[in-house]
Amino acid sequence: MHSLAQEIQGFSKSGLKKQCTRVTTVTGRKLLETRTSDGGEGEERVEELEKGSGCGYVEDKSLDLQVGVVRPFLLLASQDAAHDIDTLLRYKVSHVLNVAYGVTNLFPDQLVYKTLQILDLPDTDITSYLGECSSFIDQVREKDGVVLVHCNAGVSRSSSIVIGYLMLREWLTFDDAYSQVKVARPSIRPNPGFYKQLQSYKP
């Protein structure tokens, strides 16, 4: 009977499959890390990906254009939707509330923008922005417009603002407001700090 040590010694790395890992750097360069094993210790190679190359899978390049309709005049989405003119036209968006940090407004000639550069950090006081944001949303509603609220991913900052708006203007409890926004856009997830702040928020 072989000992475990003998089994490990007898194990050939050449039996391993080639492994590919796709890496996208912060600058947007796409690299392919390939680990091969030719009996020895194996080697790692990094090459720049050409368009169309891959490693046996399809890369998901789809944009997040899902728009959560919270109210007929109040929509919630990611920056992808805010940057897609077809989506904006389909939902009859007239105003955009941009609560991301460093995300540009692409259609200033066609839409009315309000920008608040909010950091998605648990210790950011999200409730301190609710009054100003809610006033903007009210103005849109009074003009029979439609406002799209977005941050980067449409997950934490913008969802927190929309939840806070429902609590402030419609007197909903946090649980009710959260549930309604979650139904409209299932991917929402306010960061833990925002979640706690909204839970204890008393308009």
Q: What is the pLDDT of residues 80-137, one digit of tens each?
A: 999 999 999 999 999 999 999 999 999 999 999 999 999 999 999 999 999 999 999 9
Mean pLDDT confidence for 177-189: 97
Q: Do residues 11 and 88 share a domain?
A: no
pLDDT for the residue numbered 41? 46
In whole angstroms, give the CA distance from residue 105 to residue 87: 15
Catalytic residue among 20, 55, 133, 151: 151
Q: Do residues 137 and 165 share a domain?
A: yes
User: Rounded to the nearest 5°, which phi and psi values hold at 178?
Assistant: -60, -45
What's the per-residue H, E or C state across 172-202? Answer: CCHHHHHHHHHHHCCCCCCCHHHHHHHHCCC
Find the domain containing 117 and state its range: 68-199
Q: Do residues 108 and 179 share a domain?
A: yes
Q: Given the DSSP bridges, would you call strands 68-71 and 74-77 parallel, antiparallel or unpaired?
A: antiparallel
The yes-or-no answer on residue 133 being catalytic is: no
The whole-model pTM stands at: 0.70
Spatial CA neighbour of 45 closest among 26, 32, 57: 32
Q: What is the pLDDT of residues 98-107, one digit of tens each?
A: 999 999 999 9
H runs (alpha helix) in the chain: 4-10, 79-82, 85-90, 130-142, 157-170, 174-184, 192-199
Residue 163 counted as domain residue: yes
- Overall domain count for the chain: 2
Lowest mean pLDDT among 19-23, 124-128, 155-159: 19-23
Spatial CA neighbour of 146 closest among 64, 63, 70, 83: 70
